[in-house]
Amino acid sequence: MIAYSSYVLCAGLYLSMLYGAFLLSSRNNQNFALQRKLILFSVAAALFCPMLEVAPIVSEELYAVFLPVVELSGTTSEIMAESPACTKSAWFSWKHLVSVLLLLGSVVFAIRFIYGAHRIRMLISQEASEQQDGLRIILSNKISSPCSFARHVLLPADTLIENPTTASIIEHERAHYQLGHSYDNILLSLCQVIFWWLPPIYHLQKQMKLIHEYEVDAIMLAQSDKFTYSNLLITQISRHQALLLVNNFNSFTQKRIVMMYKEKRPATKFLMLAAFALMLPILALLQSCQSKDELTLRPEVNKINIDRDNSLAANAGDDARFFIESTVDTIQMKGAQSEPVTQIVKNQREVYLKPDQLPYASSCTRLQGDEREECSNAALLTFVYTNIKYPKEARDRGTEGMALAEFVITDKGQVQSSKIVKELGDGTSQEILRVLSLMNQRDFRWIPGQVDGKPVNVLYKLPIKFKLQ
């Protein structure tokens, strides 16, 4: 549910930015065909950009077993730690509340969309009709003003088909059908289901309908004079039709008449396209920054970027083995779920990043597979919670944030090579190292990881979040 809200909010941000570009580029612009395309592009980009993964710029890739986040909270009078991996966290938070509200709103607008589509379907299927040059003309006493959906033209029951005015109305709706305007209406109505909370979607939907009418009016004016056509619009102005998804003949009458008599300006495609072209690098930058909020992690995270002070110098042979000559600068770490078996040699000692079998706590021996891994993570984090303390210096100075520890579980089941790769200072690093060293002293034993049935050394990463309340 939270993933849904994150996607919707991210897509809404993109749509708002593209909406701003549309407003700037379409001001006093009469190139309606291009405006229509840009609206469709904005909606499509907003929907699909959050799904794209833009590879961040990194020096090398390093894989390791990445553990769930340890979240340590405390005040001057109490210390409390909790994590979803081994304790029951609060079942509800503001993120859940936002997710529930977004989802409920989407459900309401989805019902509205389905009901509107059902009304049109009932009108189309139950009313008498006649065919006219590819169009289906439907007369209904449930219709108060002319409208159309795809090739179906809906007219009030008292309409005379042979009347010249009716013929002009039918040609008007034919133009809507030929230009495919009904599909635009469906797309934007579906987007309204997702972005019901976002004001720009309502303006874009309204603007699209207006553009539809401008496009059709241009076609009709090629067949009739302005005075006659504007009078036709005025005769229908008192009627109102409240059907979702349809093209209403009498919508935006005043604006359309003003546009008919407005002086035509040269097309300015370049300025409109330039405004959107400038937005693309910004969107790409935003997308590349996603999930790169420094060490803001969740248990399900499987990729993170970490900055360090020095540089990585490594050579890869055919056996995908890395030789670390210095400490790491910029690293992209991925979870062990889908990556190939990779190993590094550190200080002439093989350290595997994805062994055939991960190390596990001796208390989890009776379990297998994912259950054993979850049990081991829970045992490790419980050990950390039990022994770690919020350093007094850090509390006094209000130090908060995420630290990242690295350690190796050796082929003997010992914890060695512990170090802090992302520091917070004020005693937090020393406290983390102290707790990790206790695993070799207390009643906590690891069963080593294995490759080809042999015990091996395995590299682990442990994020620890310090937060005062």
**Regarding predicted confidence, which is higher, 15 or 326?**
15
In 3D, which of 241, 221, 225, 243 has the Cα closest to residue 171? 221
Q: What is the mean pLDDT of the chain?
A: 77
Tell me what pLDDT residue 129 has.
86
Residue 422 has pLDDT above 60, yes or no: yes
330 and 193 both lie in a single domain = no
Tell me what pLDDT residue 101 has.
93
Tell me what pLDDT residue 93 has.
65
Domain final residue, candidates 284, 316, 331: 284
108 neighbors 193 (Cβ within 8 angstroms): no
Instruction: Name the pLDDT band for 47 (thresholds 50, 70, 90).
Output: very high
**Regarding predicted confidence, which is higher, 312 or 250?**
250
Residues 236-280 have pLDDT tens digits of: 886 666 788 999 998 999 999 999 998 877 656 666 677 677 777
Domain that holds residue 306: 295-468
| Chain mean position to CA 367 | 36
Average pLDDT over residues 168-191: 96
Residue 159 has pLDDT above 50, yes or no: yes
Tell me what pLDDT residue 206 has.
95
16 part of a folded domain: yes
What angle (nearest 5°) sits at the alpha carbon of residue 425, between those of residues 419 and 428? 65
Average pLDDT over residues 66-88: 46
83 part of a folded domain: no
Domain at 428, CATH number: 3.30.2420.10
**Regarding predicted confidence, which is higher, 84 or 358?**
358
Residue 191 has pLDDT above 90, yes or no: yes
Sign of CA dihedral 374, 379, 380, 381: positive
Domain final residue, candidates 284, 315, 345: 284
Instruction: Name the pLDDT band for 290 (thresholds 50, 70, 90).
Output: low
Instruction: Name the pLDDT band for 345 (thresholds 50, 70, 90).
Output: very low
301 and 403 both lie in a single domain = yes
Sign of CA dihedral 360, 363, 364, 366: positive
**Regarding predicted confidence, which is higher, 462 or 59?**
462
Residue 342 has pLDDT above 50, yes or no: no
Average pLDDT over residues 59-81: 47
As a three-state string, the secondary structure of the chain is CHHHHHHHHHHHHHHHHHHHHHHHHHCCCCCHHHHHHHHHHHHHHHHHHHHCCCCCCCCEECCCEECCCEEEEECCCCEEEECCCCCCCCCCCHHHHHHHHHHHHHHHHHHHHHHHHHHHHHHHHHCCEEEECCEEEEEECCCCCCEEECCEEEEECCCCCCCHHHHHHHHHHHHHHHHCHHHHHHHHHHHHHHCCCCHHHHHHHHHHHHHHHHHHHHHHHCCCCHHHHHHHHHHCCCCCCCCCCCEECCCCHHHHHHHHHCCCCCCCHHHHHHHHHHHHHHHHHHHHHCCCCCCCCCCCCCEEEEECCCCCCCCECCCCEEECCCCCCEEEEECCCCCCCCEEEECCEEEECCCCECCEEHHHCCCCHHHHHHHHHHHHHHHHHHHCCCCHHHHHHCCCEEEEEEEEECCCCCEEEEEEEECCCCCHHHHHHHHHHHCCCCCCCEECEEECCEEEEEEEEEEEEEEEC
254 and 391 both lie in a single domain = no
Most confidently predicted of 27-36, 67-76, 178-187, 356-365: 178-187
Most confidently predicted of 75-79, 215-219, 282-286, 367-371: 215-219
324 and 187 both lie in a single domain = no
Average pLDDT over residues 161-167: 91
Residue 84 has pLDDT above 70, yes or no: no
23 and 172 both lie in a single domain = yes
Residue 83 has pLDDT above 60, yes or no: no
362 and 428 both lie in a single domain = yes
- Of the chain, the percentage scoring pLDDT greater than 90 comes to 31
How many domains does the chain divide into? Answer: 2
271 and 323 both lie in a single domain = no
pTM of the model: 0.60
65 part of a folded domain: no
134 part of a folded domain: yes
User: b or e along 42-63 (b: 16 or more beta carbons within 10 Å of the residue's beta carbon)?
Assistant: bbebbbebbeeeeeeeeebebb
User: Of the given ranges (11-15, 138-142, 147-151, 325-329), which has the lowest mean pLDDT?
Assistant: 325-329
Average pLDDT over residues 143-167: 92
48 and 124 both lie in a single domain = yes
